[in-house]
């Protein structure tokens, strides 16, 4: 498991990896560059491109993609 999340963090799009319980073992948070691109067609295309890279890693049996419409945090960056 440790080596796998380290591999995920080598991808530019992956900004966080969380070890979770439940149906899936890991949650990877991706940040996609949407500048100068049509929003609704590009989000799907960019996410699919990143997911294809992740699926090529050995040991990936299933993935699921969630696209937030709004994110709120208390963190100060």
- The pLDDT assigned to 5 comes to 87
Report the range of poorest mean pLDDT among 4-13, 21-30, 45-54.
45-54
Q: Is the model more confident about 39 or about 67?
A: 67
* Residue 39 backbone dihedrals phi, psi, to 5 degrees: -60, -55
Query: Any idea which residue has 């439940």 for tokens?
Result: 22
* Beta carbons of 4 and 57 less than 8 angstroms apart: yes
User: Of 15, 10, 22, 21, which is closest to residue 56 (Cα–Cα)?
Assistant: 10
- The pLDDT assigned to 17 comes to 94
Mean pLDDT computed over 32-47: 74
* Beta carbons of 34 and 46 less than 8 angstroms apart: yes
Q: What is the pLDDT of residues 14-39, one digit of tens each?
A: 999 999 999 999 999 988 877 777 76
């Amino acid at each position: 498991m440790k080596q796998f999340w380290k591999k995920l963090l080598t991808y530019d799009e992956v900004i966080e990896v969380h070890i979770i319980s439940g149906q899936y073992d890991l949650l990877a948070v991706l940040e996609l560059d949407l500048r100068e691109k049509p929003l609704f067609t590009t989000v799907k295309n960019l996410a699919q491109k990143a997911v294809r890279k992740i699926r090529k890693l050995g040991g990936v049996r299933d993935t699921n993609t969630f696209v937030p419409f709004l994110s709120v945090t208390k963190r100060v960056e």
